[in-house]
Every structure is written in C-alpha cells, then in structure tokens.
Amino acid sequence: MSDNPFVGKWIYRSYLNEPSMPVFGEGTLTFDDSPLGLLAGKLTMPIVKPTLQLNVRGNFQLGTPFQVRFQGVGLPGTGTAGWIYDYIGYLVPAWPDGVKQVTAIVGSVIRTVAHGPQSPAGVVASFIAIRE
C-alpha cells in the first residue's frame, strides 16, 4: 500500500467555466507510485481519436484538504506535442456520515501554452477526478 493518497486511476472530466458547462477534457488520470509528496503519471483522453496523452508531474501537500499541483505536458511526435497545462486540485475530505462517497479531486486547470489558433493560452476550466 502506497503512502501517496493519489496513486491509482481516476476518471477525469473538465468543464469550461461557462453557464452551459461544456466539456473541456475527458479521460483517465493515472498517478504512479511515487515518493511521498511527489506525483507522476499520465492523463489519457481516449474519446478523441487518436488517443491523446499528457505526461503529468507535480507534487502534493498534506493538510485539510490535501492539495495537488501538477503539470501535463504533451508527447513529442503525437497530437499533444507542445501542449502544456497546469493543474491545482484538492482531495475532497470524507463526510463523517457520507453514504457511498467516492474519493474525488476537484480543482482548476489552465492552458499554459497555446496550441493552435482555436486553442489559446490562458483558457481556464474546472475539473473533477473520481477514483476508479
């Protein structure tokens, strides 16, 4: 059992911060076992063909709630080459009397680097990741 509370697979969705909440991204966020305080893994978005992937690296801080900060970087030679996104999130504390509560991370993501005229830098979305 890892000391890292983020290790494992998470179902990921992000939404543009607009009243209609259009989906910004959707896929699986996977954090590998890493030393305490560090994060490493990938965000894959298989609903897009071909599957898009970002490698993620960052850290987390203990507290109430735990805080995560990581960066997703696209893979050279793929559809995500040159992409950079930054994430901040919080591990939602368990409710004492919660019924069937699933572990979740909620937060915000920003497109740090533009990738094409339709994808400018600075776009912000909210995200939720639910442990699979």
CA–CA separation, 57 vs 112, rounded Å?
Answer: 15
So what's the pLDDT on residue 113? 97
User: How is the chain split into domains, by residue range?
Assistant: 8-131
Q: Identify the CA nearest to 44 among candidates 16, 25, 22.
A: 25
Q: Identify the CA nearest to 69 among candidates 24, 25, 34, 38.
A: 38
Q: Is the pLDDT of residue 33 over 70?
A: yes
Q: What is the pLDDT of residues 69-117, one digit of tens each?
A: 999 999 999 889 999 999 999 999 999 999 999 999 999 999 999 998 8
Is domain 8-131 in CATH 2.40.128.30, yes or no?
yes
Q: Is the pLDDT of residue 6 over 70?
A: yes
What average pLDDT does this structure show over 5-9?
A: 94
